[in-house]
Amino acid sequence: MQANGPNGGKTTASRQTRIAQCITGPSTRATQLVEDVDHEQEQGLALFATHGAADAASTIYATQAVGAQTEANPIMAQLLHVDPTLAAITMLAVVGAVSISYPRFARACEFPTRWFGVGLAIAGLLVAIINVVVGVTA
Q: What is the signed CA dihedral for 90, 94, 95, 98, rounded to 10 degrees?
A: 170
In contact, 94 and 51? CB cutoff 8 Å:
no
Global pTM value: 0.68
Are residues 9 and 62 located together in one domain of the fold?
Answer: no
pLDDT of 104 reads 87
pLDDT exceeds 90 at position 135: yes
Are residues 94 and 52 located together in one domain of the fold?
Answer: yes
Using one digit for the tens of pLDDT, what is the confidence trace for 9-66?
555 566 666 555 555 555 565 555 555 567 788 888 889 999 999 999 999 999 999 9
Are residues 18 and 74 located together in one domain of the fold?
Answer: no
Are residues 51 and 96 located together in one domain of the fold?
Answer: yes
Are residues 82 and 44 located together in one domain of the fold?
Answer: yes
Using one digit for the tens of pLDDT, what is the confidence trace for 103-121?
888 888 876 667 788 888 8
pLDDT of 134 reads 95
Are residues 27 and 44 located together in one domain of the fold?
Answer: no
**Non-local CB neighbours of 48 within 8 Å, separated by 6+ positions:** 95, 96, 99
Question: How far apart are the C-alpha atoms of 74 and 85, rounded to whole Å?
Answer: 16
